[in-house]
Amino acid sequence: MPTNNRVLIADDNRDVLQAIRLALKAEGFLPDCVSTPADALKRVEQNDYATVLIDLNYHLDTTSGKEGMELLERIKEREPDLPVVVMTAWASIDVAVECMRRGASDFLQKPWEDERLIAIVRTQCLLHETRIHTTRLKAETRSLRKKGVSGFVAQSRVMKPVLELVESVADSDASILITGENGTGKGVIANLIHQNSSRSDASFISVNMGGIPEGVFESELFGHVKGAFTDAKENRIGRFEMASGGTLFMDEVANMPMAQQQKLLRALETREFERVGSSKTLRLDARLITATNADLQAEVDQSRFRMDLLYRLNTITIHLPPLRERVEDIEPLATSFLSKYTSKYRKADLGFSQNALEAMKAYEWPGNIRELDHAIERAALTCRQDEIGEAELGLNPSRESPSRANLDDMSLEEVEAYLMRRTLARCDGKANEAAKELGLSRSAFYRRMQRYGL
């Protein structure tokens, strides 16, 4: 029996409705009966069915099948993947072929045999479930399967309480807020929580909330149906549906505009949402983990973040210390990154000189673990010896305030990264304000942040 066993039956004959309802109910299905095409469309828009059975004729003096074919087309316009089985006592090969051409999944002639009826309905329900699962996997593959999460390294004393908290809350469904500077590994911790939860067999879906343009916010999170707006040429699954049964990780939540915060709050409060252009209510079945580098309480005090939304997000708060406070972790992290890049770039037996290790431990790492990762990759690529020295790391302790001569020697990308870093620092890490100050759109600013590891 498929997970979704709801079946809609549309026929103007009460005896037919009753007979099919009893036959399906005896096999464990949940039949829902209507007698007009208008009611059938309304039910399809409001409910989630696995299969629909429709009559082709709804008036005693009509045998053309026109009403049923029009209903079939309208259902397929709204729900292209929903199986529709057509029924008629006026069966012919021509009618059957025309119905299949218009999108019908199967054809049932009246009077029917209950065994054939049950077989058709069960087959279509199972096919529908498989199709939904396949669509969800394809959507996840397209947008989310990028790099695998690297091995988690944490040996320092300051990380011990963090790991203990992660272990204690991982197997619950409590909402978790992860805070910390950019590059401290908030996404890695979120994935670690997911992998140690009861939802680990389902999807881990990540979305950068600060990088979603306001015009597509609802479509990105909730999905949309074909025709909901100009560019909606097909149904699209949103992140909420992708994460069904698993974990939804929303990064950079502090950078959401107030209008988007309200839409998110409503979905979290009700645990329900609708695709754009659809009135069908769907359930949110995902564990929620959020992250930010901002002080959300300060954002609330400045009326830039909703207090009621904060309460929805921070049932448990996990704060990640910056890398400069985790000096004991620098060498094992660097060694882990080096192992990854020597394998990737086929540079065996590459290690660190003592000077390089001391330089890394003395450096402040304003970009935290992400900056360390990039530094090791650059060093692995440029090193021409058996050991990576301090020079190959390219660390510049004074890079936050370079001289005019240094600026003259920097590439355009280095100058841009420097200006972005300075602006972010001046704006207390608030990406929205920094983007406005530099005259960039929020999405363009985020693309540059990712490019430069900020």
State the CATH number of the domain containing residue 354: 1.10.8.60
Q: Which domain holds residue 251?
A: 157-321
Q: Is residue 278 part of a domain?
A: yes
Range with the lowest mean pLDDT among 34-48, 50-64, 157-171, 338-352? 50-64
Q: Are 108 and 204 within one domain?
A: no
In tens, the pLDDT along 342-353 reads 988 888 778 999
Q: Is residue 193 part of a domain?
A: yes
Number of domains in the chain: 3
Q: At 179, give phi and psi (nearest 5°).
A: -115, 160
Q: Are 337 and 203 within one domain?
A: no
Range with the lowest mean pLDDT among 103-112, 194-203, 364-373, 392-401? 392-401
Say yes or no to pLDDT of 400 above 50. no
Q: What integer pLDDT is reported at residue 316 of this predicted model?
A: 95
Q: Are 108 and 165 within one domain?
A: no
Q: Is residue 81 part of a domain?
A: yes
Q: Are 86 and 186 within one domain?
A: no
Average pLDDT for 262-288: 91
pLDDT bracket for residue 149 (50, 70, 90): very low
- Which of 280, 200, 198, 283 minimizes the C-alpha distance to 240? 283
Q: Is residue 145 part of a domain?
A: no
Q: Are 186 and 92 within one domain?
A: no
Average pLDDT for 394-421: 64
Range with the lowest mean pLDDT among 153-157, 229-233, 414-418? 414-418
Residue that finishes a domain, picked among 271, 299, 321:
321
Q: Is residue 146 part of a domain?
A: no
Q: What integer pLDDT is reported at residue 145 of this predicted model?
A: 45
Residue that finishes a domain, picked among 321, 338, 371:
321
CATH number reported for the structural domain that contains residue 206 in this entry: 3.40.50.300
Q: Are 290 and 349 within one domain?
A: no
Say yes or no to pLDDT of 338 above 90. yes
What pTM was estimated for this model as a whole? 0.64
Q: Are 314 and 168 within one domain?
A: yes
Q: Are 308 and 331 within one domain?
A: no
Residue that finishes a domain, picked among 75, 108, 137:
137
Q: What is the mean pLDDT of the chain?
A: 85
Q: Is residue 415 part of a domain?
A: yes
Q: What integer pLDDT is reported at residue 141 of this predicted model?
A: 60
Q: Is residue 150 part of a domain?
A: no
Q: Is residue 252 part of a domain?
A: yes
Average pLDDT for 297-316: 94
CATH number reported for the structural domain that contains residue 129 in this entry: 3.40.50.2300
